[in-house]
Amino acid sequence: MGSGLIGVIIDWEAITMEKQAILKMMEDLCNAKGISGFEDEVVAEVRRFGEGLGQFQEDSLRDLIIYRAENKGGRPMVQLDAHTDEVGFMVQAIRPNGTLQFINIGNWVSSNIPAHRVWVQNSLGEYVPGIVASKPPHFMSDAEKKAPLDVNSLVIDIGASSLKEAVEDYHIRIGAPVVPDVTFEYVDQHDLIISKALDNRLGCASIIATLDALKGEELAVDIAGAFDCQEEVGARGAVVTANTIKPDIAIVFEGCPADDTFSPEYAIQTALKKGPMLRHIDARMITNPRFQRYALDLCEELSIPVQTAVRSGGSTNGASIHLSNQGVPTIVIGIPVRYAHTHYGISSYADWENGVKLAVAILKRLNADVIASF
């Protein structure tokens, strides 16, 4: 077993079979390449791991819905929600020297972008390796060294030396999606997950695990698991799925930014290994306080560790869902992710597991009267 965070090989024999299967699902979901609008690989993985859990419905945006096999109709509908897309980039132009000019897809901090490997999808559907490059310090003036990093000064270098070579030999076109080149790792010694796209492939895994845990259970509600596209560019897919499902209540799973490595101790609200985080508010949603209280009381009753947060920024698919139809009581079960919206995130398996436990507990107790009380 590895002793650090880099180059760790998963010791599958030391992990229970159930956990092995879950980690394998997480690995395949996280390794799938899928920036906003190009979520096809992720949707294919969701279909594979969701086989047998219910009926699939997919729309032209690449939103995917799984209607639970045990649904009966005529009962309150619960939307379980997670987005499939990840932050990345898109090729905007090919320069005469063969380097690729790009734009951000999703919210990035410019200083986190350079000197990382990426994959660029070419016109043949193949992924070409590249490096996000900047002007070497040897050639920079003092003014350039002191200036804030401008993302427009960065390029992706795939090794081509001319526009002609990039187009004809590498088959690169403008509009090509670009994803971080990062491979999923599980550090069993510390029960940590390190990967790209934990925001929000952990949420996708949560829906599948929740539906699987409820197989054969007699519930008082119907459930639809929505895997939404394009959350990172404005929670667009959730608008469509909410209008399709027409939920009476919703639980959103999200890989949410952890704050425990930079906030003063008194202000930490989203720490690793302290349970899922339930936000009271963010920039686009005030969480239904009655549903929120119900979930928090349930955590206390069942000894599920939980954190709460008051956020002035950020948002989730809850922003779209809670305003849909005639209004939908919505909570967000957040799995803390250190360094979200960078190439590498770090999360705790236990936090993810406790988020699923909470969702399962809620769903087993929901009925028309409980939902009406929210």
> Out of 39, 45, 231, 353, which one is annotated catalytic?
231
Catalytic site includes residue 254: no
What burial class does residue 41 get, using C-beta atoms within 10 Å of its C-beta: 0-12 exposed, 13-18 middle, 19+ buried? middle
> How many helices (H) and strands (E) in the chain?
10, 17
CA distance 196 to 199: 8
Token reading at 353: 């597991």
CA distance 127 to 145: 33
HSE-up of residue 245 (Cα within 13 Å, Cβ side): 39
Phi, psi of 75 (to 5 degrees): -130, 165
- 211 neighbors 363 (Cβ within 8 angstroms): no
- 48 neighbors 29 (Cβ within 8 angstroms): no
Locate tokens 């990093």: which residue? 149
357 Cβ neighbours under 8 A, 6+ residues apart: 302, 304
Q: Helix 40-50 crosses helix 198-213 at what angle (to 10 degrees)? A: 20
**Residue positions annotated with a catalytic role:** 231
